[in-house]
Amino acid sequence: MEARLKLVVIAAALGLAGCDSQAPTAAPPEANRDATVTPSRAVVPASDLLIRDSSDDLEFGWRMVPDVAAWPALLAELRGDAQSQLAEARKSAADDRAARGDDAPFFGHYFQQNWRVEADTPRLLSLLAETDTFTGGAHGMHFSRGLIWDKVARRRLALPDLFTDWAAARKLIEPAYCRELDRERAERRGGPPTGGMFDDCPPLLEQTVTLAGWGENAAGGIKVYLDPYTAGPYAEGSYELWVFPEPSLTPLLKPAYRPKD
């Protein structure tokens, strides 16, 4: 699988969240920023955090971080997604083998998805899934997926849900994101943009966005992941950007998500 390249920019102390949604969801009811979080204490078997499947056609793996066991509904949802992905991967591999016939070589398919914690604050849990696949083509592919969980409301959030005024916040976040992307691309390519097909700035809400770091009050910044072919050709691999929004972004956060004084 292609090597992942990273850009690190010192990030501001903001309570921002990652998402795999492209549009705002219905805003959750405002809860007190100091509300007590009481995660489930139900015992979850380790097997609930893993899915393995191996055959001549497919090697499949899924691994969830133990942190999610405290939220049974979230774990059940993500495990259900993985089971659906397994069914799709099995069908894809079987269809590929059948389509190749007896004379064409078949190469076994591969799917591996690993979840990890990107940030964990008293209010928010930010997760990232990295998925590597091979489906019989010229090379494998890498995909990312972000998720933000409000521990008090016990529900997912999209990035715009964190703000009282997303339109205003977007005007601060997107230019910072595009600047960091341009800087990283120039470093990899050895020069400024030349007007090619990979010089545009891909829409922020179509990318994987997560929190970064840990803290008692708030997460340490915003991370943006761009998969291969999104910001550059396959040879450039994935992009992982730590974005530094303007300090004036903090007042635009909903009170429940602002850093404590």
Check residue 191 and give its pLDDT: 79
Check residue 35 and give its pLDDT: 58
pLDDT digits (tens, 9 = 90+) for 6-26: 333 323 333 333 344 444 444
Query: Is pTM, for the whole model, over 0.85?
Result: no
Check residue 19 and give its pLDDT: 45
Q: Compute the half-sphere exposure of residue 213: CA atoms within 13 Å on the CB side of its CA.
A: 20
Check residue 190 and give its pLDDT: 84
The domain 5-26+45-257: what is its CATH number? 3.30.565.40
Is the CB of residue 161 less than 8 Å from the CB of residue 153?
no
Q: What is the mean pLDDT of the chain?
A: 83
| Among candidate residues 136, 98, 139, the one with its CA nearest the CA of residue 229 | 139
Count how many residues are written for the chain.
261
User: Where are the domains positioned within the chain?
Assistant: 5-26+45-257
The ranges of the chain with pLDDT < 50 are 1-29
Check residue 11 and give its pLDDT: 35
Check residue 9 and give its pLDDT: 30
Check residue 250 and give its pLDDT: 85
| Among candidate residues 77, 89, 161, the one with its CA nearest the CA of residue 124 | 161
Sign of the Cα pseudo-torsion (168, 170, 175, 179, in order): positive
pLDDT digits (tens, 9 = 90+) for 85-131: 999 999 999 999 999 877 889 999 999 999 999 999 889 999 999 99
